[in-house]
Amino acid sequence: MSLGSALRNRDFVPPTLQITAMMDMFTIIVFFLLFSYSDRPDEIDLEKTIDLPVSSAERDYDNVLKVFVSSEAVKIDEQLVAEIRQGRVMGYDPEKPKESGIYKALLKIREKEIRENQMQELGTSKNDKVEAEQEDKPKMAQVLFFCDRTVPFKAINTVMKTIGMAGYPNMQFAVTGEY
């Protein structure tokens, strides 16, 4: 007996579709989109000396460290930490990068964040004290990097390396929106 004749003699069974599983997935996706969608974009005041590149990607930034690099200065959250002259970061020694103003300012901010996180974790519950003490590494903060497109790469690279050494390895470049 051949296999072909057995398949031909079978009764036709119409295919069925399990719609309940698909509805569950649809509901999960709808709720995820509703809760993750933000109706207000972050508005950040830019300095007139910074000309950002253009992009069409979008992302929300709530609690991020903002670093501004213009052709004249480096600012961290509107605080001047270094000057840029002729494409070089002033006060930065490649042999001793941890002595630069950028590194020291970032280290102060990082230490403040660590203290605030520890206080917040310890204040939540007494049972969480053990977990807070076991956590050696603080949460990695995000840096939003505003950089003028006319700044030379050497200066950008210097600032980015210093930011990474200070404990902020997660950086993203800010760009102007293309609509």
Average confidence (pLDDT) over 141-151: 85
Whether pLDDT at 138 is above 60: no
pLDDT greater than 70 at residue 56: no
The C-alpha atoms of residue 97 and residue 89 are separated, in whole angstroms, by 11
pLDDT grade for 178, boundaries at 50, 70 and 90: low
Tell me the domain boundaries of the chain.
3-36, 54-177
Sign of torsion, CA 123 103 164 96?
negative
Mean pLDDT of the chain, nearest integer: 77
Whole-number pLDDT of residue 58? 62
In this predicted structure, what is the pLDDT of residue 30?
Answer: 85
Average the pLDDT over 26-50 and give the result.
70
What is the band of 60 on the pLDDT scale with cuts at 50, 70, 90?
low
Q: Which of 5-19, 41-55, 156-170 has the lowest mean pLDDT?
A: 41-55
Cα-based angle 85, 89, 94 (whole degrees, multiple of 5): 140
- Could you please report the per-residue DSSP string of 54-92? EE------SS-EEEEE-SSEEEETTEEEEEEETTEETT-
Cβ contacts of 110 within 8 Å, gap of 6 or more: 141, 166, 167, 168
Least confident segment among 29-33, 39-43, 117-121: 39-43
- Give the model's pLDDT for residue 139: 55
pLDDT of the residue at 13: 80
Q: How much of the chain, in percent, has pLDDT values that exceed 90? A: 2
> Strands 88-89, 79-85: parallel, antiparallel or unpaired by DSSP?
antiparallel
**3 has pLDDT over 70:** no
